Amino acid sequence: MKQKITFLVLSIFISVTIRSQVNTNFETFSFTAQIYDSQIVNAEISSCLDNNKVTHIAWIKNDGTLRYLMYSKFSPVTKQFITTQLEAGTTEVKIAPKIITDSNNNPHIVYIMKRDPNKGISNGNYAVIYVGDGNGDGTFDILQVSANPKDPSTSVNSLYNCYVNDRPSIMLIGSDLYVSYISESNSLNSYNKYLIFAKKNGSSWTYSQEIKLESSTLGGTYNVDYGISFPSKASTIYYGGLIDISNYSPRIVYKSTGWNVVQIPGYSGSLGTNKHVTIVVDNSQKYHYMWYNTDNKKFCHTTLSNNTYGKIDEYAALSTSTGNLFPSTVDIEKGLPIYFYNLLNGSAKIIIENQEIELKNIGVGYGKDALHARNGFISLTTASEGNQKIYVSINSGTSSGINDLLLKDINIFPNPTTSHIQVSGIEGKANLTVFGIDGKLLLSKQFIGNEPISVSNLSNGIYNLRIQTTNGLVERKLIKK
């Protein structure tokens, strides 16, 4: 089914301009949006950033009676939103949209639908739906992806029916478009759930049953309600991320010839210990795997290659965080990790190169895919039910440089040193990072006040130190003897 779309320009409200002490300027823009998160906590909005740094947003409009799939674009040049209603309003429950753009900047969206909120769990009541403008002509194809029957009261078993609490994903493998989702368990698959890949072929789909989601194949216990995270683009080796609920540790699933699973040790815990697994592929084809550890209040980042993971870098948030979502991303041209979290006071922070930049009056994280970066340009999408607005915060594209603030009261001693250093002039928590003269990160540590910090593992030489406090960033030189 195709639907011709008329584009509407909505009003823009400039809500805040942040000029941080690290010379990174953020502006926030917003538009009125009827959002009401009635089904899944903070899962009604998804965004992405195209080659021209335009932010594309898929979101669910809820006017209290009907729900609509909506599509908005924000241009950093015109500073304007263009919003499109993609489907007629219905009582069907549309949940968890995911949006990507292709190499021509055309949008592709997938979501899960419950056809009749008054019906039960018959497989005809659920479906994975694709909506996309592959030709870029403003005409959107609307196609059902999963094999579920279309009568909400009917149950007809298939290997490719979707699971009722699925979180579908969409990605490009080369130029081919794939939708991934979890199958329901029924007699045809011996009552097991599988990861399904559906490849788009015109107006139809070619299905493949990929991996059985049980302990014998995953090496642990997997809660399919959490979903499997895939990047928006992939090569012939697929990497996905999930949380194992036998010990709540992060895991990597990957397919080379067959599917395999790797657990990342040292991060096990209880329900909610590890959240928001994200995988991003940068332009050098390096895979970045990120998540947030709530026990240690640290963002974690590693890279994937040769079917395993590398060194895990951690960043401890300076402020107390709140909320369900902790989006992470990587600048796809610079390979630079960037993080986001909400504060208890209603503000939020973006973390760039160990700098924390506070943004005010931008609502909360409202979807798993909300933070994006390209060549120093950053786009963050948030929302507020109370204000009925969606916000896009963008910077001036200066994420690659650090300015020395020369805060005079903060000093390193002893300097030169042989084993330990202390930092004077700081109250409360701060983060210290040590870089070699080649720019390589050698040490990252959160400390309190003048707590001694060991640098005994560093070779003799000169190092660059960055100290991030709640008041700003300081750069200092350290001599190790």
236 and 168, same structural domain?
A: yes
- What is the rounded CA–CA span in Å between residue 399 and residue 469? 18
**Minimal CA–CA distance to 281: which of 180, 370, 210, 374?**
374
321 and 187, same structural domain?
A: yes
What is the model's pLDDT at position 16? Answer: 35
- What is the rounded CA–CA span in Å between residue 74 and residue 54? 6
3-state helix, strand, coil in the chain (%, to 5): 5, 50, 45
- 406 within some domain: no
- Domain span at residue 319? 2-395
**Minimal CA–CA distance to 181: which of 193, 170, 192, 196?**
196
367 and 449, same structural domain?
A: no
- What is the rounded CA–CA span in Å between residue 54 and residue 57? 10
215 and 134, same structural domain?
A: yes
- 402 within some domain: no
CATH of the domain at 443: 2.60.40.1930
134 and 213, same structural domain?
A: yes
Q: For residues 53, 390, 365 and 140, what is the CA-based torsion angle, rounded to 10 degrees?
A: -60
Q: Would strands 287-293 and 274-281 be described as parallel, antiparallel, or unpaired? A: antiparallel
- 293 within some domain: yes
245 and 177, same structural domain?
A: yes
Q: What's the gap between Cα 19 and its chain centre?
A: 25
- 404 within some domain: no
Name residue 258's amino acid.
G
What is the model's pLDDT at position 272? Answer: 78
433 and 389, same structural domain?
A: no
Q: Which residue has 């059985």 as its token pair? A: 212
Backbone CA torsion sign across 194, 199, 201, 202: positive
Residue pair 165/198 in contact (Cβ under 8 Å)? The answer is: no
- 44 within some domain: yes
State the first-to-last Cα distance of the chain, in angstroms, to the nearest integer.
71
Name residue 359's amino acid.
L
Q: What's the domain count of the chain?
A: 2
225 and 115, same structural domain?
A: yes
Residue pair 300/330 in contact (Cβ under 8 Å)? The answer is: no
**Minimal CA–CA distance to 54: which of 82, 28, 32?**
82
Out of 370, 395, 420, a domain closes at 395
255 and 349, same structural domain?
A: yes
- What is the rounded CA–CA span in Å between residue 379 and residue 356? 16
Q: What angle do CA 252, 42, 88 make, to 5 degrees?
A: 110
- What is the rounded CA–CA span in Å between residue 356 and residue 273? 23
- Identify the three-state secondary structure at position 70: strand
**Minimal CA–CA distance to 107: which of 140, 60, 144?**
140
Element at 130 (helix H, strand E):
strand 126-132
CATH of the domain at 184: 2.120.10.10
Out of 345, 361, 395, a domain closes at 395
Residue pair 50/77 in contact (Cβ under 8 Å)? The answer is: no
- 280 within some domain: yes
416 and 381, same structural domain?
A: no
454 and 380, same structural domain?
A: no
Give the pLDDT means over successive 10-residue stretches in the chain (481 positions): 46 36 71 77 82 94 91 92 93 91 95 89 93 93 96 94 88 92 92 93 94 72 69 83 80 84 87 87 92 90 90 89 86 92 87 87 85 92 91 70 48 91 85 81 87 92 83 79 88
- 400 within some domain: no
Out of 334, 361, 395, a domain closes at 395
- 401 within some domain: no
Residue pair 71/58 in contact (Cβ under 8 Å)? The answer is: yes
370 and 232, same structural domain?
A: yes
